[in-house]
Amino acid sequence: MALSLMKKTAIYSTLFSAAALGTVFYLAGGRAAATEDVEQIEVQQYAQGDVGYSESDYSTGKELAVAGEDNSLTFELGSADTNYLCIPLPSGTAADAVTIENHYMDNEMWIALSGSDGDFYKTAAISGNRQHITGGIYEQATSGTILKFSLNNIYECRSILENNVLYLEFIAPREIYDKIVVIDPAFGGTMTGHESGGLKEKEITLAIAEKLKEKLDETDIKVYYTRMDDNNPTEEQRVNIANHTKADMLIRIEANADEDSMVRGTTAVYNEHFFIPLFGSIELADILEKEVVSLIKGKAVGLMAATDEDYVIREATVPAAAIKVGYLTNAQEAILLQKEDYIDKIATGIYQAIINIYAGQE
């Protein structure tokens, strides 16, 4: 799969990034549209739960709810001659009281309704196009009601609000974004990775990702992060986000360690079993190592093929590489990896590699 930089234009020009403030359209047949703002944000991790429906639930009856779930959302069955999931809102709900949260790491979309009462959804039913929905519940929070929809994949969404009904259209990321990158800061939570002298790999990888995000936020590249806090998604979740979004590249950030404290340097790991012409995993690993080493003025150890321990890289069906940014067990590199300017240089190297890759495909 070579990188495709074909520009899609008018069809999705009104689509909102899940990380940005969106525009909500009031539509009425033949009438001019007015606009208000609804916030749409991305969240990488949250408490998980099983709220799914079986496929057979959609084929019978007029209404559908999870048995034993008092707070399950009810779905009306019948014709769905629309692209939108139709969510009734309590009367008088303003656009600025609606926040859409894309919990893409767990294939969920949350709708937060500020100031609303969850009791409304004891009787109000969801209708419209449910082909991407596998379940849903509502929960009462201190600030209002949260509707949690489980999805069958990773989607972005288009939001339309009219007459106290919120319409959501779910769209595959590759249909709307020309450039998609997945950044995977290794480890997190109780999985610290390598440790030496109080220095933890999970903290270094996250710090680099945070600096990298600051730079990528200024581009037109759609970036999905497997984590941006101290949680630990499964390896399956990490690789699935790259495979499901059909990302142009997956970049995993790691550190290194060795029994020999004199060993130092930067290396990159690639998937030798995934090959595509022009640009693949080995080309990604090569440019990552070159750019990072150039910025930090460090030692290049070379490229390494992924082993069974490199699950995320080995299982990716997109160009994938891990950049190992130094050895925690080397006294000199351990000191450097605690310096903010050094972390920023590593992030800049990764950023420059991404920019150069896209530039080379134009």
pLDDT in tens, 66-81: 334 589 999 987 656 7
pLDDT band at 82 (very low <50, low <70, confident <90, very high): confident
Provide the percentage of residues in the chain whose pLDDT is more than 90. 73
- Tokens in use for 99? 């926040």
CATH 3.40.630.40 intervals, the chain: 180-360
Three-state secondary structure call for residue 351:
helix
75 residue type, one letter: F
- Tokens in use for 162? 């009219």
Residue pair 76/62 in contact by the 8 Å Cβ criterion:
yes
Give the pLDDT confidence score for residue 69 in this predicted structure: 55
pTM of the model: 0.82
Is the pLDDT at 111 greater than 70, yes or no?
yes
Is the pLDDT at 58 greater than 60, yes or no?
no
Question: SS3 breakdown of the chain: % helix, strand, coil, rounded to 5?
Answer: 25, 30, 40
The Cα–Cα gap between 244 and 339 comes to 35
Mean pLDDT, to the nearest integer, of 8-13?
35
The Cα–Cα gap between 144 and 259 comes to 54
- Give me the phi and psi of 166, to 5 degrees please: -100, 125
pLDDT in tens, 182-238: 999 999 999 999 999 999 999 999 999 999 999 999 999 999 999 999 999 999 999
The Cα–Cα gap between 300 and 254 comes to 15
Is the pLDDT at 36 greater than 50, yes or no?
no
Provide the percentage of residues in the chain whose pLDDT is more than 70. 80
Mean pLDDT, to the nearest integer, of 260-265?
97
The CATH code of domain 180-360 reads 3.40.630.40
Is the pLDDT at 275 greater than 90, yes or no?
no
Least confident of 19-23, 97-101, 120-124, 169-173: 19-23
The Cα–Cα gap between 205 and 212 comes to 10
Give the pLDDT confidence score for residue 283 in this predicted structure: 95
Strand partners, 324: 254, 267
Mean pLDDT of the chain: 84
pLDDT band at 336 (very low <50, low <70, confident <90, very high): very high
* C-alpha distances in Å from residue 272, one per residue of 252, 289, 360: 16, 16, 22
Give the pLDDT confidence score for residue 247 in this predicted structure: 97
